[in-house]
Amino acid sequence: MQEIPIVLIGHKDHGKSTLIGRLLLDTKSVRESRLKEVKEVDESIGQKFELAHLVDSFKEERENEMTMDTTRAILKGKERNYQLIDVPGHKELIASMLTGAAGAEAALLLVSIEEGIREQTRQHLEIAKLLGIDQLGVVVNKMDKVGYQKEEFDQITERMKEILDKIGYSSENIHFFPISAWEGDNVVERSRKMPWYKEKTVLEFIEGEIKEPESFQNLPLIFLVQDKYLDECKEILVGPVESGRLKVNQKILILPDRREGEIKTIRDITGESVEAETGQNIGIEICQGKKMLTNISRGNVITTLNSNIKTSRDISGEIFWITAPSGSNLVFECGTASVEGQLVEPKVVNQGEKTYYRILLRKEIAVFPRSRTILGKIVIKDKGKIIAVGSIQ
Ligand code: GDP
């Protein structure tokens, strides 16, 4: 069964990990014994027990599989399961959301009623909007700290609505939840302490409102060449099928140089295959007539002959600046392509801002403007570190 990815966003310490812990616990997605173990460890080192430590215990378990500092906990729903994605640290969260490592279609934004709306709250929302994450729930947490008062909740939701509208969400379509992740009010169980709230709990929202991720299966073929290796003199290209599908004998186009070729073989983890679809990691051989095609490498994109995947070196769109450029050479990444270039606009960059951008690359790359695929996004690196991520328009 496919798990629906949901990323938890919001200012540090507003309760992201605690909410995940509470959801797991109250839906019995974790064993009682797990909770007991975590409590015992906390006690043995003289540490106060935190629901967040339950989430941390998953991190250790799955550490080897992870490329980023991301924890994915599985929430067991009635009909479907969900991946709750927790990324500790503001910069890490931004980087993993922006690069698609988090891969989420939906987000829960945590705002602590005690600390209020903060800079990271706004920034995470800007990024969610930039990435086209339209399935959003705003969770007003720590209601226990303000005596579960409706007035406080109403005040913060009014201010949040203004921010949401400014960023481009239509606030009347967004759900707001008054909760205490720590006490478990309105998360899975309806709260008796807030009789004034009659709408959905967080779990009811997740189960009833969040839609399955949009499939890229019907989009044009994008096979990202990640790597290649030699197998008995045959050159095998490996990578993910980001969108569309491909078949043996199909005619294809290699981008950005627009060479034509034909798919000779496809291999997946089970062995040779005649076709592959979105989401699969495969190895392929490409030929041109009787000849094997070589000189294809990381950064190239394979698509169909009539595809509307473009190539360009003049790229623009909207971008979010995690930090301002240092003045050294910038590297621009799209899919697996990585190319040097020049930032034409904006002339002045302020950290934490979203702006229009235009870049001129040294050479063309494959792009799929205004799409939610990886070829619709650009990442800027400065001395190896991600400093900005934007959409391609
Ligand atoms: P994160 O950084 O957003 O993941 O925040 P955490 O989940 O680590 O929570 C930060 C702190 O707030 C911890 O000490 C939690 O115990 C506390 N906390 C989280 N939710 C609640 C809540 O509903 N009520 C109260 N009183 N404290 C909470």
* In the chain, where the domains are located: 3-209, 222-304, 310-391
> Which CATH class name applies to 222-304?
mainly beta
Question: What predicted TM-score, i.e. pTM, was given to this entire model?
Answer: 0.82
Q: Tell me the CATH number of domain 310-391, given options 2.40.30.10, 3.10.450.40, 3.30.1490.20, 3.40.50.300.
A: 2.40.30.10
- 254 sits in which H/E element: strand 251-255
Which pLDDT does position 258 carry in this prediction? Answer: 95
The 3-state DSSP class for residue 371 equals: coil
- Give the pLDDT band of residue 31 (cuts 50, 70, 90): confident
Indicate which atom in ligand 1 lies nearest the CA of residue 145: 26
Query: Is pLDDT of 67 > 50?
Result: no
Question: What average pLDDT does range 17-40 have in this prediction?
Answer: 92
At 68, is the pLDDT very low, low, confident or very high (cuts 50, 70, 90)? very low
Q: Determine if ligand 1 sits within 6 Å of the CB of residue 50.
A: yes
Q: Would you say the CB of residue 17 lies under 6 angstroms from ligand 1?
A: yes
Which ligand 1 atom is the nearest neighbour of the CA of 21?
A: 7
Ligand 1 atom with the shortest distance to the CA of 181: 23
Q: Which atom of ligand 1 is nearest to the CA of 143?
A: 23
Alpha helix (H) ranges present in the chain? 16-26, 32-44, 51-62, 90-98, 119-130, 150-167, 202-209
Ligand 1 neighbourhood includes 14 CB (under 6 angstroms): yes
Distance CA 312, CA 337 (A): 12
Query: Cα 14 to the chain's mean position, in Å?
Result: 20
| Rounded Cα–Cα distance for residues 93 and 109 (Å) | 13
Ligand 1 pocket residue status of 3, Cβ below 6 Å: no
Distance 195 CA to ligand 1 centre (A): 23
User: How confident is the model over 331-342, as a mean pLDDT?
Assistant: 96
Across the chain, mean pLDDT equals 90
Ligand 1 touching residue 141 (CB < 6 A): yes
Question: Does 371 sit in the ligand 1 pocket, CB within 6 Å?
Answer: no
18 lines ligand 1 (CB under 6 A): yes
Identical topology for domains 222-304 and 310-391: yes
DSSP code of residue 393: -
Choosing among 3.40.50.300, 3.90.550.10, 3.40.109.10, 3.30.460.10, the CATH entry for 3-209 is 3.40.50.300
List, for residues 162-207, the tens digit of each pLDDT value.
999 999 999 999 999 999 999 999 999 999 999 999 999 999 999 9
* Res. 385 pLDDT band, cuts 50 70 90: confident
User: How many angstroms is it from 181 CA to the middle of ligand 1?
Assistant: 7
CA distance 351 to 126: 13
